[in-house]
Amino acid sequence: MGYVDRTLKCSDCGRDFVFTAGEQLFFHDKGFRNDPKRCKDCKAKRPVRASREGPGSRTETRTYCSECGVETTVPFKPSQGRPVLCRECFQKKRVPTDGGSGEPPQQPSA
C-alpha cells in the first residue's frame, strides 16, 4: 500500500499540518485506525497521560489486609468485593507446593 503525504487540520489550533507517508506507515504498523487530530505543537502542549508516566510514579492506596488485618499500601485502587493482601500474606499465597523446582510434585512409589 503506497502512502503519500496528506494535509490535515489541527483540532486545537485550526492550522494545517502534514501527515507524512512515513507517519502513516507507522500508524498502519501499530494498528492505529484514526488519523492524528493535533499538530506537533499542540500535541506537545497537552499534559502527559498517566499511562505514559515513568516508573515509580504510580499511586499507592492505604488499605487493610483481608487476611491478617494489618494496615498496608498497595500499588492499585482496590475494587469492592475483592480481597486485598499485605506483602507477607501475598507471598504466603504464592509459595509453590512443589519445592520451587517448577516440576509437578512427585507421587511416592508404592
84-91 contact pairs (CB < 8 A, 24+): 89/65
The residues near 68 (Cβ < 8 Å, ≥ 6 apart) are: 86, 88, 89
Q: DSSP labels for 12-37?
A: TT--EEEE-HHHHHHHHHHT--S---
42 and 10 within one domain = yes
Q: To the nearest whole percent, how much of the chain has pLDDT over 90?
A: 35
Instruction: Determine, yes or no, domain membership for 100.
Output: no
Instruction: Determine, yes or no, domain membership for 21.
Output: yes
Instruction: Determine, yes or no, domain membership for 53.
Output: no
Which tens digit of pLDDT belongs to each residue from 31-78? 999 999 999 999 998 886 655 455 556 678 888 888 998 988 888 888
Instruction: Determine, yes or no, domain membership for 110.
Output: no
Q: How far is 63 from 86, CA to CA, in rounded Å?
A: 9
- Please count the structural domains in the chain: 2
Q: How far is 81 from 36, CA to CA, in rounded Å?
A: 40
Instruction: Determine, yes or no, domain membership for 69.
Output: yes
pTM over 0.75: no
Instruction: Determine, yes or no, domain membership for 33.
Output: yes
Q: How far is 65 from 62, CA to CA, in rounded Å?
A: 10
Instruction: Determine, yes or no, domain membership for 51.
Output: no
Instruction: Determine, yes or no, domain membership for 103.
Output: no
Give the domain extent around 80. Answer: 61-94
